[in-house]
Homo-oligomer: A and B are copies of this chain.
Amino acid sequence: MGQGRCILFLFACLPASLLAGALPEGRWVDLSHDFAEDTIYWPTADKFAKSTVFAGETDKGYYYSAYNLAAAEHGGTHVDAPVHFARNKLSVDKIPLEQLIGQGVVIRVADRIGKDRNYKISVADIQRWEEKHGTVPENSIVLLDTGSARFWPDPVKYMGTAERGEAAVEKLNFPGLGPDAALYLAEKRGIKAVGLDTPSIDFGGSQLFKTHRILFEHNVPALENVANLGALPDKGFTVIALPMKIRGGSGGPTRVVALVPD
């Protein structure tokens, strides 16, 4: 079909929104937990704190409220920038927008996780998805649904312990992405970014954080504590993850959303 004829038909058939370069019709899904006193942080990390500057009627006759914030970069729904575990790699403000925006896929492994929650998502788990849906497309944002979000915000169920401090780290217990599978996604599939519904892209018992190190050497950022993956289809949607633009930050609070077409 000739291009001229195509353009003619496009104008006749397409909604005006598409012609103007607008987003396709669809529903927005929020994949972010909120930040509050019960937001889950690593046992050694400063938790989120919000303090009141003012909240009430002013002497000028109108209502006003404002708060101050404090938190570690890594807690709640956030991104790990490559420099979190890889010297001279991208800090969070330098991650190109295009790398945190792209077509999403969800790989679901909740039914693979046994009583020991320290499950490592494997190449076979990814290939099981690929047998059903085809090869994970290049430049995808791959989201891993371990079923853990249903435990949020209970830290014992979610990550194995509610204790705080260095001694609690050895009690951490939650699923993560295995190093082999991280290498497969980064090198064989050329993904843009990865994300999951646990506190860390490495499993809870990890000592050497090999998956972080493999991903970040490849400049593949990781979204952690992602919410609501059950509301997404397995593929065919767009992920938009926009982090707080912290100059030189190793990561930070990130609003992760998805556009699921009608």
Contacts and interface: CB of A to CB of B under 8 A. Distances in A.
Contacts of A191: none
A73 B62 contact: no
| Chain A contact surface mostly | mixed
Contact of A73 (B10, B67, B74): B67
Contacts of A26: 21
Interface in A1-30: 1, 6-7, 9-10, 12-14, 18, 20-24, 26, 28, 30
Nearest to A246: B35
Among A10, A23, A207, A251, chain B packs the most CB atoms within 10 A around the CB of: A23
Interface stretch (A79-87, A126-134, A168-176, A178-186): A79-87
Interface in A204-238: 207-209, 213, 236-238
B65 A72 contact: no
A33 to B, nearest CB: 7
Contacts of A236: 20-21
Contact of A84 (B9, B66, B85, B247): B66
Interface in A63-78: 63-74, 77
A248 interface: yes
A234 B86 CA distance: 41
Among A86, A93, A237, A249, chain B packs the most CB atoms within 10 A around the CB of: A249
A237 B103 contact: no
A252 interface: yes
Contacts of A150: none
A6 B12 contact: yes
Contacts of A252: 69
A86 B60 contact: no
